[in-house]
Amino acid sequence: MPPIDKDDYEDVPVFDQLVELISKMTDAEQEKLLELLQRRHSEEQEREKRISLYTETAFTIGSEEYRGIVLDLSSGGCFIETSDDFANGQEVAIRMKRSKDAKTILVRGRIARIEPNGIGIQFYK
Protein backbone atom coordinates (compact mmCIF):
# COMPACT_ATOMS: atom_id res chain seq x y z
CA MET A 1 0.00 0.00 0.00
CA PRO A 2 1.44 3.44 -0.93
CA PRO A 3 2.20 5.97 1.83
CA ILE A 4 -0.65 8.26 2.87
CA ASP A 5 -0.33 12.01 2.41
CA LYS A 6 -1.93 13.55 5.52
CA ASP A 7 -2.71 16.81 3.66
CA ASP A 8 -5.17 14.88 1.46
CA TYR A 9 -7.33 14.18 4.56
CA GLU A 10 -7.15 17.49 6.39
CA ASP A 11 -10.88 18.32 6.16
CA VAL A 12 -12.26 14.75 5.88
CA PRO A 13 -14.05 13.28 8.94
CA VAL A 14 -12.16 10.50 10.72
CA PHE A 15 -14.76 7.84 9.95
CA ASP A 16 -14.57 8.58 6.22
CA GLN A 17 -10.77 8.48 6.36
CA LEU A 18 -10.87 5.08 8.06
CA VAL A 19 -13.32 3.63 5.54
CA GLU A 20 -11.22 4.82 2.62
CA LEU A 21 -7.96 3.54 4.06
CA ILE A 22 -9.42 0.18 5.06
CA SER A 23 -11.04 -0.27 1.64
CA LYS A 24 -7.57 0.02 0.08
CA MET A 25 -6.17 -2.81 2.25
CA THR A 26 -5.90 -6.41 1.17
CA ASP A 27 -8.10 -8.99 2.92
CA ALA A 28 -5.08 -10.16 4.91
CA GLU A 29 -4.28 -6.60 6.04
CA GLN A 30 -7.93 -6.06 7.04
CA GLU A 31 -7.93 -9.29 9.07
CA LYS A 32 -4.70 -8.27 10.81
CA LEU A 33 -6.17 -4.84 11.63
CA LEU A 34 -9.35 -6.43 12.98
CA GLU A 35 -7.33 -8.77 15.22
CA LEU A 36 -5.29 -5.83 16.50
CA LEU A 37 -8.41 -3.77 17.30
CA GLN A 38 -10.15 -6.71 18.98
CA ARG A 39 -7.07 -7.43 21.12
CA ARG A 40 -6.81 -3.77 22.14
CA HIS A 41 -10.51 -3.62 22.99
CA SER A 42 -10.20 -6.79 25.07
CA GLU A 43 -7.18 -5.39 26.94
CA GLU A 44 -9.03 -2.15 27.69
CA GLN A 45 -12.01 -4.06 29.05
CA GLU A 46 -9.70 -6.14 31.22
CA ARG A 47 -8.14 -2.97 32.70
CA GLU A 48 -11.56 -1.53 33.42
CA LYS A 49 -12.73 -3.89 36.14
CA ARG A 50 -16.37 -3.84 37.12
CA ILE A 51 -17.70 -3.97 40.67
CA SER A 52 -20.94 -5.86 41.25
CA LEU A 53 -23.50 -3.82 43.18
CA TYR A 54 -27.17 -3.73 44.01
CA THR A 55 -27.82 -0.05 44.68
CA GLU A 56 -31.02 1.89 44.09
CA THR A 57 -30.55 4.99 41.97
CA ALA A 58 -32.52 7.81 40.43
CA PHE A 59 -31.60 9.04 36.98
CA THR A 60 -32.86 11.71 34.63
CA ILE A 61 -33.20 11.64 30.87
CA GLY A 62 -34.37 14.96 29.49
CA SER A 63 -36.89 16.24 32.02
CA GLU A 64 -38.10 12.76 33.07
CA GLU A 65 -36.91 11.08 36.25
CA TYR A 66 -36.60 7.30 36.50
CA ARG A 67 -35.60 4.79 39.15
CA GLY A 68 -33.51 1.68 38.77
CA ILE A 69 -30.90 -0.55 40.35
CA VAL A 70 -27.18 -0.15 39.61
CA LEU A 71 -25.97 -3.74 39.14
CA ASP A 72 -22.35 -3.00 38.27
CA LEU A 73 -20.01 -0.05 38.21
CA SER A 74 -16.62 0.78 36.71
CA SER A 75 -14.65 3.94 36.12
CA GLY A 76 -16.11 4.09 32.61
CA GLY A 77 -19.78 3.35 33.25
CA CYS A 78 -22.47 1.31 34.93
CA PHE A 79 -25.41 -0.95 34.22
CA ILE A 80 -28.83 0.07 35.52
CA GLU A 81 -31.59 -2.49 35.81
CA THR A 82 -34.84 -0.88 34.65
CA SER A 83 -37.95 -1.89 32.73
CA ASP A 84 -38.42 1.50 31.06
CA ASP A 85 -37.76 1.97 27.33
CA PHE A 86 -34.83 4.10 26.16
CA ALA A 87 -32.74 4.72 23.04
CA ASN A 88 -29.01 4.41 22.49
CA GLY A 89 -27.22 7.73 22.76
CA GLN A 90 -29.66 9.40 25.15
CA GLU A 91 -27.92 11.58 27.73
CA VAL A 92 -28.34 10.49 31.34
CA ALA A 93 -27.75 12.20 34.69
CA ILE A 94 -27.42 9.65 37.51
CA ARG A 95 -27.56 10.36 41.24
CA MET A 96 -25.75 7.80 43.38
CA LYS A 97 -24.67 7.32 46.98
CA ARG A 98 -21.84 5.11 48.16
CA SER A 99 -23.72 4.45 51.38
CA LYS A 100 -26.83 5.69 53.19
CA ASP A 101 -24.82 8.32 55.06
CA ALA A 102 -22.74 9.47 52.11
CA LYS A 103 -23.59 12.55 50.10
CA THR A 104 -25.17 12.11 46.70
CA ILE A 105 -22.94 12.41 43.66
CA LEU A 106 -24.11 13.33 40.16
CA VAL A 107 -22.60 11.47 37.21
CA ARG A 108 -23.37 12.21 33.57
CA GLY A 109 -23.14 9.90 30.59
CA ARG A 110 -25.00 8.40 27.68
CA ILE A 111 -26.83 5.16 27.01
CA ALA A 112 -24.33 2.95 25.22
CA ARG A 113 -26.16 -0.38 25.39
CA ILE A 114 -29.73 -1.55 25.79
CA GLU A 115 -30.50 -4.98 27.23
CA PRO A 116 -33.87 -6.60 28.01
CA ASN A 117 -33.33 -5.96 31.73
CA GLY A 118 -31.77 -2.49 31.62
CA ILE A 119 -29.29 -0.02 30.14
CA GLY A 120 -25.52 0.28 29.96
CA ILE A 121 -24.28 3.79 30.64
CA GLN A 122 -20.95 5.16 29.43
CA PHE A 123 -19.79 8.00 31.68
CA TYR A 124 -18.49 11.21 30.14
CA LYS A 125 -14.86 11.82 30.97
pLDDT tens per residue, range 58-97? 999 999 999 999 999 988 899 999 999 999 999 999 998 7
Instruction: Say how many domains are in the chain.
Output: 2
Residues 37 and 65 both lie in one domain: no
pLDDT at 1 over 50: no
Residues 42 and 59 both lie in one domain: no
Residues 60 and 80 both lie in one domain: yes
Residues 61 and 92 both lie in one domain: yes
Mean pLDDT estimate for the chain:
85
Tell me if 112 sits within 8 A of 96, measured CB to CB: no
Is residue 38 in a domain? yes
49 HSE (CA, 13 A, CB side): 1
Residues 55 and 43 both lie in one domain: no
Residue 41 belongs to what domain range? 6-47
Residues 56 and 80 both lie in one domain: yes
Q: pLDDT band at 25, cuts 50/70/90?
A: very high
Q: Which CATH number covers residue 104?
A: 2.40.10.220
Tell me if 86 sits within 8 A of 79, measured CB to CB: no
pLDDT at 48 over 80: no
Mean pLDDT of 3-28: 78
Tell me if 66 sits within 8 A of 81, measured CB to CB: no
Mean pLDDT of 42-70: 84
pLDDT at 43 over 50: yes
14-32 as b/e, with b when 16 or more CB fall inside 10 Å? Answer: eeeeeeeeeeeeeeeeeee
Tell me if 93 sits within 8 A of 115, measured CB to CB: no
pLDDT for position 84: 94
Q: What does the angle CA 78 – CA 66 – CA 90 come to, to the nearest 5 degrees?
A: 60
